[in-house]
Amino acid sequence: MTEPQTRHITLRVNGQAREITTPVRKTLADALRTDLGLTGTHLGCETGLCGACTILVDGRAMRACLMLAVQAEGHAITTIEGLAPSPSELHPLQQAFCRHHALQCGFCTPGLLTTLVEFLHDVPNPSEAEIREAISGNLCRCTGYDTIVAATLEAAAMLRPQP
Amino acid sequence: MKPPDFTYHAPETLEQALSLLASLDNARLLAGGQSLMPMLTMRFAFPDHVIDLNRVAGLAGITQTGDTLRIGAMTRQRDLLDHPFVQQKIPLLAQALALIGHRQTRNRGTIGGSLCHLDPAAELVSVMTALGATIEIAGPNGPRDVAMADFPLGYMTPSLAPDELVTAVHLPVPPPGHGASFLEFSRRHGDFAIVSAAVMLTRHSSGHLADAVITLGGVGPVPLRLAKAEALLAGQTPTPDLFTQAACLAREIDAMEDAQIPAWYRRRLAESLTRRALTAAHQSLPGAA
């Protein structure tokens, strides 16, 4: 073995520069949870199927379980902990989820919210069908998707620039 | 589970990547990781070395020269889908890309990664075959090109030596005014297709079909061109009956069987999807009702 099996990396997480030393085989999802204490990123399947671990990498929604932590070196990561603008105020999408009871157990919620934040940024005025397609990679086993779609439609209206 | 232990390499140039690939035993290339990462986590793959291509300069990007589109191997599926030229001029590719996995996997998954993984049901494998793409390969003896139709040697086996890697895909831009449709059947949106059908049609000014391309994905280890049906359609006046007749020929294909899906079911899907894709491609021709 010519190179060390751990690496020291720097990355930005929720706007803050962070440094960790991580085994090269560790996934980004595990590093966020165990090294940085950001346990809001949930791990369901660890194989890219369930979408619970979705985070934003440079603004794009990706599976944190399908990236190695070392690959995040130099990138900007946003996790569920970074969505709310302040400790006392939730993101409009989070507010809409509350109002519509778009979660029960909450396991899938971080992945849905990060996915939908990116989606609403790209598609500010989505149809219901477009929302359902956008969250097709996020499995929810409690509420079903009706309330999630309703909350997203409302959040989209809140986030759109008012004429 | 968690990935097994390996040594991680992050080359920054193509030369570094090739020299690592040539010198290391049991090395795997890591592109978007949307297939390799689950394979590591499920312990289906035990590489001693992982060579990460994400920091290699110049492997991503889309350039158009004349009537060819060059797509760098590390181009994300999402970036190709969003490309205005693809949206406007290559509808077959745009339709296929939209069916790959989910938004989150398209954001990370790459064109070259999917083609080299060569899953028989992968949309990109089928659509690049239909479009007549050329694969650009780099190796210790310099670059070489291989036609997409010759790239799969067998089940999940690309025509690549252990010290070679794919650097780009070259796509001939289909003629303006062609009709296209990519359809697939899967049990849930974003799943691999059980069967997919890619159809491109061109028409003479007389209204007769000039040329038809029909490619089926998911039916066998490699994409299948429905040559008999293509020959039947060429020169004919397009009618629903003609499309039904052409699609019938899909009943004769060799289809694979697995624990969930019997071969006869794949053949029936192939027939239905071919008929629907022919109809949709015809309707997308300019001036069609």
Q: Which residues of B touch A67 (CB under 8 A)?
A: 33, 37, 108
Which pair of tokens denotes residue A134? Answer: 């956008």
Q: Is A15 exposed, middle or buried (0-12, 13-18, 19+ CB in 10 A)?
A: exposed
Per-residue pLDDT tens digits for B219-255: 999 999 999 999 999 999 999 999 999 999 999 999 9
Per-residue pLDDT tens digits for A22-48: 999 999 999 999 999 999 999 999 999
Mutate which of B104, B107, B184, B189 to disrupt the A interface (most A C-beta within 10 Å)? B104
The label of the residue with tokens 């590390």 reads B74
Q: Is the pLDDT of residue A1 over 50?
A: no
Q: Number of helices (H) and strands (E), helices first, in chain B?
A: 11, 14
Domains annotated for chain A, with CATH where assigned, are: 6-82 (3.10.20.30), 92-159 (1.10.150.120)
Per-residue pLDDT tens digits for A53-100: 999 999 999 999 999 999 999 999 999 999 999 999 999 999 999 999
The H or E element that residue A112 is part of is helix A109-122
Specify whether the CB–CB gap between B80 and B97 falls below 8 A.
yes
Judge: B54–A1 Cβ closer than 8 Å, yes or no: no
Judge: A5–B190 Cβ closer than 8 Å, yes or no: no
Q: What is the pTM of this model?
A: 0.95
The H or E element that residue A114 is part of is helix A109-122
Which pair of tokens denotes residue B136? Answer: 């650009």
Q: Give percent of chain B with pLDDT exceeding 70.
A: 99
Q: Is the pLDDT of residue A143 over 80?
A: no
Q: Tell me, what DSSP letter sits at residue B76? A: B
Q: How many Å apart are CA B148 and CA B170, to the nearest integer?
A: 10
Domains annotated for chain B, with CATH where assigned, are: 7-52 (3.30.43.10), 62-172 (3.30.465.10), 179-283 (3.30.390.50)
Residues A115-125 have a mean pLDDT of 97
Judge: B105–A1 Cβ closer than 8 Å, yes or no: no
Q: How many Å apart are CA A53 and CA A47, to the nearest integer?
A: 10
Phi then psi for residue B95, to 5 deg, are -65, -40
Min CA distance, B227 vs chain A (Å)? 34
Which pair of tokens denotes residue A30? Answer: 């595990």
ipTM of the complex, rounded to two decimals: 0.95
- Mean of per-residue pLDDT scores for chain A: 95
Judge: B2–A133 Cβ closer than 8 Å, yes or no: no
Select the residue of A47, A57, A137 nearest B102 (Cβ to Cβ).
A137
- Name residues whose C-beta falls within 8 Å of residue B182's C-beta, 6 or more positions apart in sequence: B92, B95, B96, B99, B123, B127, B196, B197, B198, B199, B277
- Mean of per-residue pLDDT scores for chain B: 96
The residue ranges of DSSP E strands in B4-76, in sequence order, are 7-9, 27-30, 49-52, 62-65, 68-72
Residues A132-160 have a mean pLDDT of 94
Position B66 confidence tier, pLDDT thresholds 50, 70, 90: confident
Position A4 confidence tier, pLDDT thresholds 50, 70, 90: low
- CA A5 to chain CA centroid, Å, is 28
Q: Is the pLDDT of residue B100 over 90?
A: yes
Judge: B10–A70 Cβ closer than 8 Å, yes or no: yes
Which pair of tokens denotes residue A9? Answer: 């990396």
C-alpha dist (Å) from residue A76 to A24, B79, B84, B268: 19, 19, 27, 48
